[in-house]
Amino acid sequence: MYYLIKKTLEECSLKDCLTLDGQYVAILNTSEWENEKDSFDLGIDMDLNLNEIHNTKVEVNIDSLTGTFLIPNREDMSGDGFRFAFALDEKGIVFIDDSDTVQCIVGKIKSSRQWQLPCLERFVYDFLEQIVHTDMQMMEKAETELDEIEKEILEGVDKAPLKHLTEIRGDIRKLRIHYEQLIDLSQELEENENDFFKEENLRYFHMFTNRMARLHDIAASLRDYTVQLGDLYQSQIDLKQNHIMTILTVVTAIFMPLTLIVGWYGMNFKYMPELNSPLGYPIVIAISIAIVVVCLIIFKKKNWL
């Protein structure tokens, strides 16, 4: 697919991109790029393997800028994400994508954007914005879910969804890394080393850099929140274990004197006076009950129960 950057994106042919006035957007798959790359006169020979893309970055060449995108799938953050490459100069930008990821993003821009001052810089800005346009809602949803997890931890560690907490932490970590890479890419574009962009239009990249910085800060804050929830869960576990140990200690403390009595009177020496007394058995029972009651009163005063 080929587009001219006018008031909106206008579909055109390869010949129109290369001959008509104005900047263009081209979307090619790998085989189309191999067949037509010489037509764009970008002065590069990109050896592409889209499956080997591992990050989002941009590189400055003599006559062009080239780079790759690895975009996490917002619907399935544990998946592989979307991979594609690009090359641009002052005349336009070429995307190399074997999926429909770029076409979907460009389609949304085409149907929703009208520009008073159309230019390549504004298109790139809108393209980058489309990549992250739902992320603030994702952050708000994640924060709400973390608040719910915190309540569940405080209500009882047995109810705490630790697996979901771990998944959120992993998703936030991926987004934070993605934002760092987008910040680097945007700053490299704003540097404008090859003078492909007009000076007054560099503000678009500056705006995007600032937005990514804010999202990165939010992601870092949420990740810290997940760590704090993990610590809270562990502290609740420790409190529960301490409570159990306290109960066991109290039970042990109560039964120790009773065990002593049982052992003492279980010896059955011939001249133990209580053995022949009709009140011996009731007295031992009374003493045992008194010991239990006294222990409970003492433990209650010390807030051990």
pLDDT at position 208 is 92
pLDDT at position 36 is 82
Mean pLDDT, each 10-residue run in order, the chain (305 residues): 89 81 87 81 69 84 86 84 88 88 90 88 92 90 88 74 84 92 91 87 92 93 88 77 77 79 73 71 80 80 71
The Cα 55–Cα 80 span in angstroms is 11
Question: What mean pLDDT, rounded, does the chain reach?
Answer: 84
pLDDT at position 129 is 93
pLDDT in tens, 139-184: 999 899 888 888 887 877 666 677 888 888 888 999 999 999 999 9
The hierarchical CATH code for the domain 238-301 is 1.20.58.340
* Domain 1-133 CATH class label: alpha beta
- Distances in Å between the alpha carbon of 297 and those of 129, 145, 284, 290? 68, 44, 20, 11
pLDDT at position 158 is 66
- pTM of this prediction? 0.77
The Cα 155–Cα 250 span in angstroms is 25
Q: What residue ranges do the domains of the chain occupy? A: 1-133, 238-301
- Tokens for 115, please give them: 């520009």
The Cα 257–Cα 62 span in angstroms is 90
